[in-house]
Amino acid sequence: MNKQKVIFLVAMVVVLSAQFMSFQEVEASRTFQRDGVLVTPGYIQPYQPPSAPAPTAPAPTSPGSGSGDGSQIISSPVRSTLDRNTYVAPIAPPPPPPSSPTPSPAPSPQPPAQIPAAPSWLTAEEAKAFELLNKFRVDNNLPPLQIHSGVVNVARLKAHDIADNNYFSHVSPTYGTVPQMLKNAGISYSSAAENLSKAGTVSQAHIQLVYSTTGHRQIMLSPNYTHVGIGIVPLKNVPGIIMVQIFIR
């Protein structure tokens, strides 16, 4: 073998050796990549897969915000590990404060009862006595009495009998009791009573009955009676008057 052939053979061996070494380095590099390792000049660094982005806490929401169905998204840091789309049942709003009851209007005061006017056919003294009697009743929350013309005639008859015969009693020696006098006058009633007063004036006669201790005041303020007849005549032998009140229902 000549010298040129030897050189050629040596060169071919060197070339083939270099190619074989290069092929091994590439295969080793591919093996590392398949195993999750990257090859860099000078050292080998373990391969790290890309990490998922850290979950960010949702922005705080004001109470009542959330989905259209009234639910709320959990935004408390304590519950931050829950999924962003986790929902809880809606929280009922606090009940409104109780409203104060509307005060009912105070009942309007009832107007005082009107005292009926005395008819013109009464005497001045009888009209005054009728007014004093009804004012006394109205002041004590009782309805006023109505004047009864038939009973007025009976009261006048009794007053004249007392003045003429000089007695002071509920039983007339001439006409009998009050029920008998009312019956004879044709007056119907369910209950009746009589007051007698002898005084200097009508006002004094009224005061005597108001402060009497023999039941006259109770008759004047009784709710059982609806009508009254009053007869007043002057006394015969002394100054003053005799007043007869007859009450009926």
Burial (CB count within 10 angstroms: exposed 0-12, middle 13-18, buried 19+), residue 147: buried
Residue with the larger pLDDT of the pair 156 and 109: 156
Tens digit of each residue's pLDDT (9 = 90 or more) over 95-113 = 776 666 666 666 666 666 7
At residue 146, the 3 state secondary structure works out as: strand
Sequence letter at residue 194 = E
What would the mean pLDDT of 121-147 be, rounded to a whole number? 97
Residue 34's beta-bridge partner residues? none
Per-residue pLDDT at 151 exceeds 70: yes
Percent of the chain with pLDDT over 90: 52
β-pairing, 146-147 with 227-234? parallel
Per-residue pLDDT at 46 exceeds 80: no
Judge contact between 122 and 147, C-beta under 8 A.
Answer: yes
Judge contact between 74 and 82, C-beta under 8 A.
Answer: yes
Say what the pLDDT of residue 90 is: 58
Sequence letter at residue 30 = R
What would the mean pLDDT of 187-209 be, rounded to a whole number? 96
What would the mean pLDDT of 123-134 be, rounded to a whole number? 98
- Give the residue from 143, 112, 126 showing the smallest Cα distance to 220: 143
The phi, psi pair for 68, rounded to 5°, reads: -70, -15
Per-residue pLDDT at 14 exceeds 70: no
Residue with the larger pLDDT of the pair 186 and 69: 186
- Distance, in Å, from the CA atom of 126 to the CA atom of 245, rounded to the nearest integer, reads 10
For the four alpha carbons of 116, 120, 121 and 125, in that order, the dihedral sign comes to: positive
Say what the pLDDT of residue 67 is: 37
Residue with the larger pLDDT of the pair 93 and 71: 93
- Give the residue from 231, 98, 78, 93 showing the smallest Cα distance to 163: 231
Say what the pLDDT of residue 113 is: 77
At residue 247, the 3 state secondary structure works out as: strand
Say what the pLDDT of residue 51 is: 57
What would the mean pLDDT of 62-68 be, rounded to a whole number? 41
Sequence letter at residue 1 = M
Tens digit of each residue's pLDDT (9 = 90 or more) over 203-240 = 999 999 999 877 999 999 999 999 999 999 999 989 99
- Distance, in Å, from the CA atom of 9 to the CA atom of 17, rounded to the nearest integer, reads 12
Would you say how long the chain is, in residues? Answer: 249
Chain-centre distance for alpha carbon 157? 61
Say what the pLDDT of residue 130 is: 98
Residue 247's beta-bridge partner residues? 193, 228
Per-residue pLDDT at 36 exceeds 90: no
Average pLDDT value for the chain: 76
